Amino acid sequence: MLEYIYDRLGTFIGKAVKTLLDLGVDGIWVWDDMAYKNGPFFSPKHYQKFVKPAHEKIIQPFKAKNLPAILHCDGNFEPLIPLIIDAGFTAIQPLEAKVGMDVRKLKEKYGDRLAFIGNIDARKLSGTKEDISNEVESKVPVAMKGGGYIAGSDHSVPPSVSLENYLYFLKLVKKVGSYI
C-alpha cells in the first residue's frame, strides 16, 4: 500500500512539475520533512524503497534540464543524504544546527555533489553580537569554499531576534561570505 501511495504521489507531482517547466520555472524546491532531532523517521532502506522513487519522479524533469532541485527537510536526516544525492537533489536546506547538522562536516563529505543552504543557528541570532559573530565566522567561510553555499538560518527566525541583531547578521554574512 505504501509503495502504491508514494508511486501515485510521485507520478502526480511529477506531471505537475512538467507543466511548471513549460511555464518557465527554473528550479524546484521540495518540502519533505523526513526527520526529527534524533534522525530520520525511517531507515535508509525504507527511503530507498518508498520515498526515493517518488522523489525521482518529481525532480527528474528538472534534472533532465540540469536545473536545481532543492530539498527542504527539518531534523537530522544525515543518514539519508547519499540517497538524496542519488535521487537527484542538488541542494539541501535548512540544515538544523540544533539537531546536529553541521554544514562544515557536510561540505567536506558531500560538497562536490551537493549545495547547502542555511545552518546558521537561529537561536544564536537572539544572543549577543559575539554569539552571532562566532556562529557566522565559524561556518560561512568553510561552507562557501569552492561555491555551493547560501547563508541562512537553520529554521524560521524566531520573534526573539531583534531587528538590530538580524541586520548585524546580514551585514556580517556579506562581510565574510561574499563570493565577489
Per-residue pLDDT band for 99 (boundaries 50, 70, 90) equals: very high
Residue 118 DSSP SS3? coil
Predicted pLDDT at 65? 93
d(CA 116, CA 91): 5
Q: Tell me, what amino acid is at 39?
A: G
C-alpha cell at 4: 502504491
Strand 69-72 relative to strand 39-40, pairing: unpaired
Predicted pLDDT at 163? 97
Predicted pLDDT at 106? 98
Q: Write out the H or E segment, with its range, that includes residue 28.
A: strand 28-31
- The string of pLDDT tens digits covering residues 107-154 is 999 999 999 999 999 999 999 999 999 999 999 999 999 999 999 999
Range with the lowest mean pLDDT among 11-20, 65-74, 121-130?
11-20
Q: Which is nearest to 120 in space by CA: 62, 176, 82, 71?
A: 176
- The string of pLDDT tens digits covering residues 20-65 is 999 999 999 999 999 999 999 999 999 999 999 999 999 999 999 9
- The mean pLDDT of 151-166, rounded to a whole number, is 95
Residue 180 has pLDDT above 70, yes or no: no
Predicted pLDDT at 74? 96
